[in-house]
Structure 1
Amino acid sequence: MSDDSLLRRLDRLESLDEIRQLAAKYSLSLDMRDLDAHVNLFAADIRVSREKVGRSHLKRWLDDTLRLQFTGTSHHIGNHIIEFDDPDHAHGVVYSKNEHETGDQWVIMQMLYWDNYERIDGRWYFRRRLPCYWYATDLNSPPIGEHKMRWPEREAYDGAFHDLWPSWADFWANPPTADEPEVAAPAPLEEFLASMRRGAPEPRIRVR
């Protein structure tokens, strides 16, 4: 193995660890309401809306949202898949199980984030986070049936937990036959998520 190859592999391992730390730091800083620590996990020119860009606008949006809706939160991250587009750009999927104190209700949530990461001046940052929800409901009310996103004083609606993945609809639309099922070839390296998405472009999800 050449020295250059070894250095590239070490760089990839260090990048993987730093990106995983980003997700963990996101949860802790959000739950402890350290908004400066939180927004500094994002690129300095992070887009907050069509009109606003930058960490200060992200901090204001977070402050307004958290102060208005939640007394307390706890975000528990799980499965994390990271794939690299090039040495300084990557994308990934992170599972998150969350709890929220909101008014007199305790809302639990299951979701995943679709992330884009970028290394800028030697450090990794979030370039974008898209939340994809499966359910949100009061602890004492299981989210059975449709419209699993159930917040106090809001109409229930559907999240996008399954919408990113064509396999979900394919599975239910195609029950097995008597024949042995066909098995697709394994996904190429760094293309597991693209293969699961059937080659669809980067997702765009309207966040409520």
Structure 2
Amino acid sequence: MTTSLEQRIDRLESLDEIRQLVAKYSLSLDMRDLDAHVNLFAEDIRVSREHSGRSHLKAWVDDTLRHQFTGTSHHTGNHIIEFKDPDNAIGVLYSKNEHECGGEWVIMQMLYWDDYQRIDGRWYFRRRLPCYWYATDLNKPPIGDMKMRWPGREPYYGAFHELFPSWKEFWQNSPAELPEVAPPAPVDEFLTRMRRGSPAPKIRVR
């Protein structure tokens, strides 16, 4: 399928704006500018089964930050973005985070599964699904199971690998001597192919 120069420029500008969106998410969250933060989300963002909208999101973020963390720092890394159409996209973003939690310094490795939407010419988060690998005190490597280890809480799983069936398949299957290789995924179907229609995991709130 051929695309016009205008379409190609629009795609490049959209990619850049989405990458700026995730960078703005980290900065506004760490600096506690909650208005700047919630305005990165669609105006009718769903916050819970009962509530939608930026005001409810701001109240939820305020409560979480005020009662769990003295300070935070979010460091974003690998970012894959795929477009469903010119105004809707999905993405996977790695994030390495640090949290001051009272007398402990908790480090975390996670990824976000994102849905992005362009509304009135601007890109917003439609949804962010956080999937955690570990959270632990800086001086306590999270070896073993139940790697989510917040102060004062029982350890639990963080759903880091549940978006992608390949993790379980890798450990369940023995390696073939000369394995078959599936054909490459189309450019905008890499994440979709990796997901293989698997359902979104249920994430335990911190």
TM-score clears 0.5: yes
Per-residue CA deviation, residues 16-63 of structure 1 (Å, 9 max, x unaligned), is 000000000000000000000000000000011111111011001111
CA contact (8 A) 1:194 1:200 kept: no
Q: State the partner residue of 1:190.
A: 188
Q: CA deviation at 1:200?
A: 3.0
- Aligned equivalent of 2:16: 17
Matched with 1:8 is: 7
Give the equivalent residue in structure 2 for 1:75.
74
The equivalent of 1:165 in structure 2 is 164
Deviations 1:151-190 (A, max 9, x none): 000000001101111110111111213x311111101121
Q: Which runs of 5+ in 1 are unaligned?
A: none
Q: Which residue of 1 aligns with 2:202?
A: 205
Q: Is the 8 A contact 2:147 2:158 kept in 1?
A: yes
For residues 1-208 of structure 1, the aligned pairs below 5 Å read 5-177=4-176, 179-200=177-198, 203-208=200-205
SS of the residue 1:191 aligns to: helix
**Contact 2:159–2:201 (CA<8 Å) still a contact in 1?**
no
User: Residue 44 of structure 2 contacts residue 54 of structure 2 at CA under 8 Å; is this kept in 1?
Assistant: yes
SS at match of 1:26: helix
Does structure 2 retain, via aligned residues, the 8 Å contact 1:83–1:90? yes
Q: Distance in 2 between matches of 1:94 and 1:205?
A: 18
TM-score w.r.t. the length of structure 2 is 0.96
CA distance in 1 between counterparts of 2:69 and 2:49 reads 25
TM-score by length of 1: 0.95
Check whether the contact 2:165–2:198 (CA below 8 A) recurs between aligned residues: no
Contact 2:158 2:204 (8 Å CA) reproduced: no
Distance apart, 1:204 and its partner CA: 4.7
* Paired-residue identity, %: 76
Instruction: Count matched residues.
Output: 204
